[in-house]
Homo-oligomer: A and B are copies of this chain.
Amino acid sequence: MTSEELAACMNTHPVVVRRTMGLLREAGLVRSARGHAGGWRISADLGKVTLRQLHAILGEPAIFAIGNRNETPDCLVEQAVNAALDDAFTRAEAVLLERFADITLADLAADFARRMAARREGHPHA
């Protein structure tokens, strides 16, 4: 598929697609070709790519919207709050990333297939 087609699918801009897909290409998950008949093609075994890997490949974006205002404050109150929150966030992050490590693109593809089949047999507007 071309960046343009992908962008249309995702309601975004082709350049945004290229930016993100570029990271996937560096990681070897997809290949790209220029010119006629160019575009993007999967080059990985979907069963071996986990959401955990994708998160890493995409730069480990921050998981939590809440964060410390200051990582190394002099203020002892702030230090105590940070310590408590860091502990809580670390545990929650571990749970999330373990879960991510357990989900492969093949799993998502299988779920998609299930939904597609369900839509075909009588739930056209699911």
Contacts and interface: CB of A to CB of B under 8 A. Distances in A.
Given A9-B75, A92-B92, A100-B88, A61 B66 contact: yes
Given A84-B108, A96-B88, A115 B79 contact: yes
A99 B107 contact: no
| Interface residue SS majority, chain A | helix
Interface in A68-93: 69, 75-77, 79-81, 83-85, 87-89, 91-93
A112 B77 contact: yes
Range of interface residues on A (Cβ < 8 Å): 35 or more
A43 B35 CA distance: 70
Contacts of A100: 88
A51 interface: yes
Contacts of A61: 65-66
B99 A91 contact: yes
